[in-house]
Structure 1
Amino acid sequence: MDQSLEVLERTLQASIKEQRAARRWKNFFRLATLGIVVTAFVVGGRADLDGVGADVPVTAKIKVRGVIADGEEASAENLKRSLGKAFENENTKAVILEINSPGGSPVQAGHVYDEVRRLRALHPDTKVYAVITDLGASGGYYIASAADEIFADKASLVGSIGVTAASFGYVELMQKLGVERRAYTSGEHKAFLDQFQPQNPEERKFWEGVLKTTHNQFIRSVEAGRGDRLKAKENPDLYSGLIWTGEQAVGLGLVDRLGDSDYVAREVVGVSKIVDFTRKQNPLDRFASKIGASVADQLSLRLGFDGLSLR
């Protein structure tokens, strides 16, 4: 009997030790995870100012890369925060927007455009230069047009001032398969973007009006940013959605001069030290963005189209 109690006691003690060890490891991993998250938050919004003295002037650079959309690296939230940090830095002598983007959301591009114009008005001595690398199209050019000057490489692709909204139609396919579409709505035109119903001429005209309105908003913003430098009267295709090389774009007034970011910092700003102020997303930002993007994707699927896009 005593031996049985002794064995039971040893078993319980061993179990307690294992539980304590498990708790210690669990707490360790929790603290490690917390440390990673905190570090990510600190590093994510910090510019690379290592090795730069307190009174050393710098040229701030912000990268506009990829699709301009909510939840992406080139979202309005990320770019506006980056701009704010760059302008807040006392040693910033000028800001370069280094653009390599095919465009994206007109809303997101418009938010960035407005923020650049606002900060230029608040800091008139701090010039903003847009530098287009491979591609500065549509929404990418929309943002560029807010700058004081636009630079590009001779082989860069520039322009594409237009709006698109893409979808598919499956009406004839459904008829061949013998599939019947059943849609129940409480509004006469609620399902006008339904891919499985025939196009209604009246609704198509309405949707084309929406696209035209967005296109005109885009054009007005570009003209406000570029002014008399644009050669729109001499080139009626300027707002047609066509795209040109950087060399051609200079002649059209879409670009001011040829050059890259190093050239602008060295020869135009006069401050060759470039500091990247591009906001880097931390893991929590990326996780939240993915959730937001998945919700938007589901809504897009429900509507049956990709939404308006400056591409």
Structure 2
Amino acid sequence: MTDPTRPEFPGSQGSEPPVPDLWGSESTTGNPASSANASASAASGWERGVLEKLVFATIKEQRAARRWRNFTRLAWLLVIITLAVILFSKESSTASKSTPHTAVVDIKGEIAAGNEASAEFVVAAMRSAFEDTGAQAVVLLINSPGGSPVQAGIINDEIVRLKAKHKKPLYAVVEETCASAAYYIAAAADEIYVDKASIVGSIGVLMDGFGFTGTMEKLGVERRLLTAGENKGFLDPFSPQTEQQRQYAKQMLDQIHQQFITVVKTGRGDRLKETPETFSGLFWTGETAVAMGLADQMGSLDYVAREVVKAEEVVDYTRRDNVAERLVKRFGAAMGAGAAKSLQSSALQLR
């Protein structure tokens, strides 16, 4: 039985009237204020997300900047330590070896400015060896195919000067190779010792390069080189070389070759058994070199120290770039390395 005072709803069958969903979609669509609140809430969430991203990006950037500052400080610390090590190593290397010994200076690799076999390094090492009161003699341990005639000439002249000043003998001991500029240096030694299979000689001068004029013509490439002086660009590989320029270069090479020959004849003296091939640029084995008077006899470093110098203890005076110096040089000269190589490509070589 129904209550006549209560309104009836279809399908209610006496049940309670449905309670409206105040948070549902119907309520939202029916209420503009609720819709505005929802939109504001969504906008607030989007702004909060953006702010969070900005904050995280700022923190990440600050961490990166802090790491970079730490790295920079560490790098400067390493540079300071490196310089201290270099100075310490140079000071300790000058300490005198008072006991009798054989002083050794290595000449290995290409003889060129900037290399370990440069005049700067070799001369500095020889001076230290000659000045040491404990050094009974100096031995140049050579394994080099040659290099710059200028660098070799500086070393040769210094050998002559140091021998006369300190009255100490200097011997050259050849390992695998003693050719061209390396032999230019060895010629100033009192005696030259070789292995029977060593390569000795190559008394000559060369200037090498390439010419690309024919290739450029085939490719239709025009070389535009401006010079002040008609012969200024005659070593340019992309410009033709005249006969006059070729003769001039040949004359210059002959002059340097004659300087080389004079040094060898002065150094070897009557021991040299000159033949038409001696100064032709050929090279020979150590055994043949002894027979030709280019070397004196067979012998190793230990043999010379023990049997010739009579001081078996061997002390190395070679001036070398340590790891720290190499890093500093690479760091300082990396930008100019390509330019330096291009300028050296046409340099005269005794090899």
Contact 2:131/2:166 (8 A) holds in 1: no
**Counterpart selection for 1:213 from 252, 255, 266:** 255
Contact 2:192/2:296 (8 A) holds in 1: yes
Matches of residues 80-95 of structure 1 in structure 2 within 5 Å? 80-95=123-138
Contact 1:68/1:101 (8 A) holds in 2: yes
Larger radius of gyration: 2
SS of alignment partner, residue 281 of structure 2: coil
Counterpart of 1:34 in structure 2 is 80
Matches of residues 15-164 of structure 1 in structure 2 within 5 Å? 30-43=76-89, 46-47=92-93, 55-124=98-167, 126-164=168-206
**Counterpart selection for 1:299 from 315, 328, 343:** 343
Asked if residue 274 in structure 1 is aligned to residue 314 in structure 2, the reply is yes
Asked if residue 241 in structure 1 is aligned to residue 281 in structure 2, the reply is yes
Q: Cα offset for 1:199?
A: 2.2
Q: How many residues align?
A: 285
Counterpart of 2:297 in structure 1 is 257
Q: Cα offset for 1:28?
A: 5.8
SS of alignment partner, residue 294 of structure 2: coil
SS of alignment partner, residue 171 of structure 2: strand
Counterparts of 1:181 and 1:25 in 2: how far apart (Å)?
48
Q: Cα offset for 1:296?
A: 3.1
> Which residue type is aligned with residue 242 of structure 2?
N
Counterparts of 2:82 and 2:328 in 1: how far apart (Å)?
14
Q: Cα offset for 1:227?
A: 1.0
Asked if residue 184 in structure 1 is aligned to residue 226 in structure 2, the reply is yes
Contact 2:234/2:240 (8 A) holds in 1: no
Contact 1:161/1:242 (8 A) holds in 2: yes
Q: Cα offset for 1:285?
A: 6.1
Q: Cα offset for 1:281?
A: 1.4
Counterparts of 2:71 and 2:233 in 1: how far apart (Å)?
55
Higher RCO (CA-CA < 8 Å; seq separation 6+)? 1
Q: Cα offset for 1:102?
A: 0.3
Q: Cα offset for 1:188?
A: 1.2
Counterparts of 2:340 and 2:66 in 1: how far apart (Å)?
45
Counterparts of 1:204 and 1:177 in 2: how far apart (Å)?
26
Contact 1:45/1:279 (8 A) holds in 2: no
Asked if residue 194 in structure 1 is aligned to residue 240 in structure 2, the reply is no
Q: Cα offset for 1:45?
A: 7.0
> Which residue type is aligned with residue 299 of structure 1?
L
Q: Deviations over 1:169-219 (max 9, x none)?
A: 111111111111222111011111121222211110010001100111111
Q: Cα offset for 1:24?
A: 8.0
Provide the identity percentage: 46
SS of alignment partner, residue 225 of structure 2: coil
Q: Structure 2: 5+ residue runs without aligned partners?
A: 1-64
Counterparts of 2:341 and 2:316 in 1: how far apart (Å)?
31
Q: Deviations over 1:70-102 (max 9, x none)?
A: 011101000011011111111000000000000
User: TM-score by structure 2 length?
Assistant: 0.75
SS of alignment partner, residue 129 of structure 1: strand
Contact 1:132/1:151 (8 A) holds in 2: yes
Q: Structure 1: 5+ residue runs without aligned partners?
A: 1-18
Counterparts of 2:155 and 2:91 in 1: how far apart (Å)?
17
Q: Cα offset for 1:37?
A: 2.3
Counterparts of 1:76 and 1:287 in 2: how far apart (Å)?
21
SS of alignment partner, residue 85 of structure 1: helix
Counterpart of 1:3 in structure 2 is none
> Which residue type is aligned with residue 222 of structure 1?
V
Contact 2:111/2:181 (8 A) holds in 1: yes
Contact 2:179/2:199 (8 A) holds in 1: yes
> Which residue type is aligned with residue 224 of structure 1?
T
Contact 2:235/2:346 (8 A) holds in 1: no
> Which residue type is aligned with residue 228 of structure 1?
D
